[in-house]
Structure 1
Amino acid sequence: MTGVDVSGPSQDMSRGLYFGFTLAVVVLGWIIAGAIAGVSYLASGLEAIPIMIGFVACCAHAVVLRLLHCAWWLAFLSFLPGLFVLVGSVEYPVEAALGSRGDPGGQLQVLALGLVGWAGITLLAGWRGFVRRRAGRRPAFDEA
């Protein structure tokens, strides 16, 4: 037999607290996108600054997602929507400022696609992480 405890929920984290943590990670993704867009708007013409800040923020989101899910594979999977968030939030303020002069390139759709992807991956990670912890399945280094 396997060493999985399926007798019931573990006592370390309740369902409501885990759902709250999942929603906090979703909100964190929206805050990251807004912060990158704000920095990009303030530093227009200096794309390297919001790109570096955005890269660090996307990596931080992946680490928080790993804590939510208990596995790295979904955190690495979040880098694809993170790339959309990064490109969309760096380019959208420039596009919005120049929108009155001609035909914008559609970076708002890229940003929205990235945010929807991050939200979907975060909700999946929250559900799977809760189920894994409830069943008693944790990585060996999760205790450290």
Structure 2
Amino acid sequence: MLAALSVLVFGWVIAAGNTGIACAAVGNDVIPIITGTLLCLVFMIALRVLHRAWWLAVLSALPGLLILVGSVQHAPEAALASRGIRENVVITAVSAVSTNHRFTLAGANGELAQTLEYRGSDPDYRVGDRIEVIRDPEGVVPLEDAAKVDPRGRLNGLVMGVVGWSVLTVLAGWRGHVRRRKGVVYDD
């Protein structure tokens, strides 16, 4: 029981810690991505040790992905939502290299604003479209489409991941307890 509780608390600490790292490193997603990935792998190993079979540990990858995405993307979106400046702009040009698109934006008075980056094969934007963007006055977080900034949704994904890990940890702890009581130590 103590082992299951330890793994459970460890999962919560991973989620909170990686979110804190992402908040401290706003504007640099590489650090929280690396630390989050490594910590999620360590959690999978701890879950494997708790119940001595890989199948439940592998199932923890989906909530781990929710935790990773939520913790990494919540911080910049929260920064844009809290201190960002909203502007209405017009897309004046687009350049694409492979699946990376760069849209040139002009403000309401016709002056060139910034560029909006889009990574993907089929962007929703076309030259001449009017969109609302949020830009960071400090320049730390890249410009984003205001319709796609959703810090609450990222936080909800993070919480769903933590709940998923919690359920899997309780299940693994119970399974390990029952198997040890029956004298079965390892899976065949």
Determine if the TM-score, normalized by the shorter chain, exceeds 0.5: yes
Report runs of 4+ in structure 1 exceeding 2 Å deviation: 100-104
Aligned counterpart for 1:95 among listed residues 59, 63, 77: 77
1:56 is paired with a residue whose SS is: helix
Instruction: Tell me how far apart the structure 2 counterparts of residues 93 and 61 of structure 1 sit (CA, whole Å).
Output: 22
How far 1:140 sits from its partner (Å)? 7.3
Richer in helix (by share): 1
Instruction: Tell me how far apart the structure 2 counterparts of residues 80 and 35 of structure 1 sit (CA, whole Å).
Output: 19
Cα distance per residue 1:66-99 (max 9 Å; x no partner)? 1111111100110100000000011111122222
Instruction: Tell me how far apart the structure 2 counterparts of residues 36 and 63 of structure 1 sit (CA, whole Å).
Output: 18
> Does the CA contact (< 8 Å) of 2:53 and 2:187 recur in 1?
no
1:49 is paired with a residue whose SS is: helix
Instruction: Tell me how far apart the structure 2 counterparts of residues 30 and 96 of structure 1 sit (CA, whole Å).
Output: 21
Instruction: Tell me how far apart the structure 2 counterparts of residues 26 and 99 of structure 1 sit (CA, whole Å).
Output: 31
TM, length-normalised to structure 2: 0.62
Structure 2 partner of 1:131: 178
Instruction: Tell me how far apart the structure 2 counterparts of residues 94 and 31 of structure 1 sit (CA, whole Å).
Output: 20
1:53 is paired with a residue whose SS is: helix
Instruction: Tell me how far apart the structure 2 counterparts of residues 99 and 117 of structure 1 sit (CA, whole Å).
Output: 27
Instruction: Tell me how far apart the structure 2 counterparts of residues 24 and 93 of structure 1 sit (CA, whole Å).
Output: 27
2:28 is paired with a residue whose SS is: coil
C-alpha change, 1:43 and 1:130, in structure 2 (3 Å) is same
Q: Give matches, 1:1-144, under 5 Å.
A: 19-100=1-82, 101=84, 104-105=149-150, 106-139=153-186
Amino acid at match of 1:67: V
Amino acid at match of 1:58: C
How far 1:57 sits from its partner (Å)? 0.2
Cα distance per residue 1:34-75 (max 9 Å; x no partner)? 111111111111111110110000000000001111111100
Richer in strand (by share): 2
* Runs of at least 5 residues in structure 2 that lack an aligned partner in the other structure: 85-145
Instruction: Tell me how far apart the structure 2 counterparts of residues 23 and 137 of structure 1 sit (CA, whole Å).
Output: 21
CA RMSD of aligned residues (A): 1.6
* Runs of at least 5 residues in structure 1 that lack an aligned partner in the other structure: 1-18
Aligned-pair identity (%): 48
Instruction: Tell me how far apart the structure 1 counterparts of residues 33 and 187 of structure 2 sit (CA, whole Å).
Output: 35
> Does the CA contact (< 8 Å) of 2:25 and 2:31 recur in 1?
yes
Q: Identify which of structures 1 and 2 has the higher relative contact order when contacts are C-alpha pairs closer than 8 Å and 6+ apart.
A: 1
